[in-house]
Amino acid sequence: MSTAPKQRTIAEIPVQFVKGMGEKRAEAFRKFQVETVEDLLEFIPRRYLDRSTISPIAKVQLNEEATVIGEVISTEVVTRGKRRLIVRIYDRSGVLEGVWFNQIDLFKRIFSVGQTVAFSGKVGRYRHWQMVHPDFDILSQSREPLHTSQIIPIYPGSETLKKVGLNSYAIRRIVKNALEQFGAQIPETLPAPLLEKYRLLPRTAAYRAIHFPDTPEQVQQAIQRFKYEEIFYLQLLMGVFRHQHKKANPGLQFAIQNDFLRKVMEKLPFELTGAQRRVLRDIYRDLTSGRPMNRLVQGDVGSGKTIVAVLTMLMAFTAGYQAAMMAPTEILAQQHYLNLVELLDPFDVRVALLIGSLPARQKSEIQRQIAAGEVDLVIGTHALIQEDIQFARLGLVVIDEQHRFGVLQRGNLIAKGHRPHVLVMTATPIPRTLALTLYGDLDVSIIDELPPGRQKIITAWRTESSLPKIFRFIEERIRAGDQAYIVYPLIDESEKIDLKAAKAAFKQFQQVFPDFRVGLLHGRMSIKEKDAVMHAFKRGEIHILVSTTVIEVGVDVPNATIMLIEHAERFGLSQLHQLRGRIGRGHKKSYCILVTPENINEVAQQRMRVMEETSDGFRIAEEDLRLRGSGEFLGTRQHGLSDLKYVDLVRDVKLIQNAREDAFQLLKQDPQLRKPEHAVIRQRFFKLFADKFELAQIA
């Protein structure tokens, strides 16, 4: 890493040194992770008011959406009729009232006479023009004039900031001071050729444009620059991981015993699909190439990824190495373990299960066996990456349901061996843009074929008023010999969230279906309790299993043909698709019923319609990403995904591809970023990914 410049950069200057900030305001900002001048400049507006689209109050239209700006001339709590707060604003052309029926005392404290405010909402009329519960922004706390810019930035706000006088107007003034004081200390973080290639704004100009735009076009130019920078550095990280993993020479070159593998495959109760065989050929080539494998296997629910992983682990075993598989939940790890034990019963392969809930003495003994090389295949959860776990000869790492783990967790398991091969699996189909962003360091294989005989699942969206009819249908199917899942988003009832809960539903269904045996499964149960319930369900001793999303992945009961999901609007599309994948695993027709309240928002309605229309996991993943945004898709555990402020993983496909090509090309020329012209990039890279530097050397 190059020596730091003598003059401090904005990333090193504490935010309290900005004129107008002060210690109290600095403390309030720290709650938003604003510690330095750079953090302050990165505290970007959440939206903008374009003064060219702001209506004079006299020109608003009844029942139309509008945004108006005016001065608060009165606030009044009206007690006649329904109690309400009325805030009147005036803009020289007329008076408009903002009306609040809820949280009146809270809003009364927010508004005061003399403020300049913006109201946005649907226009009504009662004596004066009105907006009921409008969106609003406090633009100033006094009669100070607004900035003359056509575009008014509105910053993220909270009670914490407002208490110290930090509304959008005050924040803008402080940001302006920061640029005037420290503008000369803003380093450019992108190479000049790339700025020129894409006609991107320099970094200082982009900060000015995003905080003080004169036109909407300037905002877009600034956002485009920061989009590119954001994804460029994330792709650099992926490129470093990829380079570090590939450069190991020689890698572990497996001498795989094909005769043993054929004997195991002959014992399988099914034929492998063409897609499974193709992926296994990819893996076989990797393992015998002398270079470390770093491969992602994607496949829709039920496509047969698990047997691919098992056969890969056996390739490692035949070559004389240990293999470890890390699963996200204990119940899934248990199932993998039991399936392995059953499959390998005739063979001399030693399999162990290592999970957190094992008794301490048993866990300690398994750890000893792993370290001594007395175990060949290990199935576990996060327990596998504890510091005291040592492997004798770890040659293969398998990460199941990769989206449940972060980059660091993957790296921690890899570090247990000396350059082991890595196989990553996910049953959640990933849109191409997301795969490029999150898994840019991996080669990708796709299992795009379902095993023969899988029935198409009939999916229907119903509202709660249909529940009696749905219950009658479930009763008919169970009397015909089928089994059913009923899934809820919570375990216990909550006063704050009006959702049905699994425990309460369990009691309810015991009454609704007195002739059938009802079981309950949730994450708070002990591993023995979960195991007992799942085995009873598999054996058909339980007819209806009431569960939380603990059954989302891995559990396989071919006789279960019904999946009823209560409060389906609370689940993302990919999660609904995962749950639906628990049924349709036998030869009987299967049904997934999504139940929601009568009134759900438009986005939730779109999700339900997509589930009815398609069972294509990749299309569902694209829709999920489009509807929920990158911050929520697959959770936010992947490094970088939750930090994306600018990039839209649906719309910015070309940008992501360009940034990936540019980052990888730069690393091809200068893998360690040692060239003098890359010093600032190197410095920026390690500032962003300081916690990944050690990982970058081992991954």
> 178-204 pLDDT, tens per residue?
999 999 899 999 999 999 999 999 999
* 240 compared with 479, residue with greater pLDDT: 479
Q: Are residues 410 and 268 in the same domain?
A: yes
Residues 65, 103 contacting (CB under 8 angstroms) = no
Same domain for 558 and 482: yes
Q: Looking at the domain assignment, is residue 412 inside a domain?
A: yes
In-domain check, residue 29: no
**CA 613/CA 459 separation, integer angstroms:** 8
Report if residue 346 sits inside a domain: yes
Residue with tokens 């709660």: 464
Q: How far apart are CA 296 and CA 424, in angstroms?
A: 5
Query: Is residue 344 one of the residues assigned to a domain?
Result: yes
- Spatial distance between the Cα atoms of 137 and 153, rounded to a whole number of angstroms: 10
Q: Mean pLDDT over residues 302-328, rounded?
A: 90
Q: Is the pLDDT of residue 650 over 90?
A: no
Q: Which one is predicted more confidently, 644 or 171?
A: 171
Of 614, 635, 657, the residue that ends a domain is 614
pLDDT averaged over every residue in the chain: 83
Query: Residue 334 is part of which domain span?
Result: 258-289+304-426
Bond from prior residue into 597 cis (ω within 30 degrees of 0): no
Residue 334's pLDDT is 83
Residue of higher predicted confidence among 78 and 8: 78
Q: What is the pTM of this model?
A: 0.60
**What are 324-356's pLDDT values in tens digits?**
998 877 777 887 898 899 889 889 899 999 988
Q: Specify whether 410 is located in the same domain as 272.
A: yes
Structure tokens at 439: 């898994």
Distances in Å between the alpha carbon of 383 and those of 36, 272, 378, 416? 37, 32, 11, 13
With beta carbons less than 8 A apart as the criterion, state whether 277 and 312 touch: no
pLDDT at res. 150: 64
Identify whether 235 is part of a domain: no
**Interval 253-268 mean pLDDT:** 89
pLDDT at 629: 57
Give the pLDDT score at 6. 45
Beta 351-354 vs 294-299: how paired, if at all? unpaired
Contacts of 6 (CB under 8 A, 6+ apart): none
How many whole angstroms separate alpha carbon 195 and alpha carbon 69?
A: 38
Contact residues for 341 (Cβ-Cβ < 8 A; gap 6+): 351
Q: Tell me the H-state helices in 184-268.
A: 192-198, 203-211, 216-246, 258-267
pLDDT given at position 147:
46
For residues 364-388, one letter each, b for 16 or more C-beta atoms within 10 angstroms of the residue's C-beta and e for the rest, the string is eebbebbeeeebbbbbbbbbbbeee
Looking at per-residue pLDDT, the higher value among 574 and 73 belongs to 73
Burial of 204 (0-12, 13-18, 19+ CB in 10 A): middle
Single residue among 614, 644, 670 that ends a domain in this structure: 614
Query: Could you tell me the CATH number of the domain that includes residue 100?
Result: 2.40.50.140
Please state whether 211 falls in left (phi above 0), alpha (psi between -120 and 50) or beta.
alpha
Q: Which two tokens stand for residue 128?
A: 């004066």
- List, for residues 499-512, the tens digit of each pLDDT value: 567 788 888 888 88
Question: Last residue of a domain, which of 154, 171, 192?
Answer: 154
Return the half-sphere exposure (C-beta side, CA atoms, 13 A cut-off) of residue 368. Answer: 6
The mean pLDDT value for 547-572 works out to 81
Same domain (yes/no): 407, 503: no
Q: What is the pLDDT of residue 402?
A: 56
Contact present, 564 and 458 (Cβ < 8 Å)? no
462-487 pLDDT, tens digit each: 999 999 999 999 999 999 999 999 99
Residue 162: count other Cβ atoms within 10 Å of its Cβ: 16
The residues pairing with 219 across neighbouring beta strands, listed in sequence order, are none
Q: Name the nearest CA neighbour of 556 among 516, 583, 521.
A: 583
Q: Does 193 map to a domain?
A: no
**In the predicted model, is pLDDT for residue 530 greater than 90?**
no
Q: Is the pLDDT of residue 97 over 60?
A: yes
DSSP-derived 3-state class of residue 31: coil
Question: Do 284 and 144 reside in the same domain of the chain?
Answer: no
149 or 530: which leads in pLDDT: 530
Shared domain for 530 and 414, answered yes or no, is no
Let me know whether 579 and 492 are in one domain. yes
Instruction: Quote the pLDDT of residue 230.
Output: 92
Check residue 131 and give its pLDDT. Answer: 94
Query: Is pLDDT at 653 greater than 60 in this prediction?
Result: yes
- How many alpha carbons lie under 13 Å from residue 265 in its C-beta half-sphere? 18
Q: Which single residue is written with the structure tokens 């490129």?
A: 239
The verdict on 541 and 395 lying in the same domain is no
Q: What is the pLDDT of residues 658-686, one digit of tens each?
A: 998 999 999 988 888 888 888 889 888 88
Q: Are residues 317 and 373 in the same domain?
A: yes
Of 531 and 641, the structure prediction assigns the larger pLDDT to 531
We report the CATH number of the domain holding residue 537 as: 3.40.50.300
Clarify whether residues 264 and 385 are in a common domain.
yes
Contact, 447 vs 525, CB < 8 A?
Answer: no
pLDDT of residue 643: 57
Strands (E), 57-198: 65-78, 84-90, 95-100, 116-122, 124-126, 128-132, 135-140, 151-154
Encoded amino acid at 589, one letter: K
Are 472 and 420 in the same domain?
Answer: no
Lowest mean pLDDT of 220-234, 275-289, 405-419, 568-582, name the range. Answer: 405-419
DSSP 8-state assignment for residue 454: P
Summarised one tens digit per residue, pLDDT across range 373-387 is 999 999 998 888 777
Q: What is the mean pLDDT of residues 29-53?
A: 86
pLDDT band at 4 (very low <50, low <70, confident <90, very high): very low
Residue type at 504 in one-letter notation: A
Give the per-residue pLDDT at 303: 80
pLDDT of res. 206: 96
Do 285 and 400 have their domain in common? yes
73: in domain: yes
- 68-72, 430-434, 603-607 — which is least confidently predicted? 430-434
**Least confident segment among 105-109, 342-346, 407-411, 511-515:** 407-411
Question: Above pLDDT 70, what percent of the chain?
Answer: 85
| pLDDT greater than 90 at residue 211 | yes
pLDDT at 383: 80
**pLDDT computed for residue 411 by the predictor:** 65
Confidence of residue 59 (pLDDT cuts 50, 70, 90): very high
Q: What is the pLDDT of residue 475?
A: 94
Of the pLDDT bands very low, low, confident and very high (cuts 50, 70, 90), residue 497 is low
Q: Is the pLDDT of residue 695 over 70?
A: no
Is 127 inside a domain boundary?
A: yes
Total of domains in the chain: 3
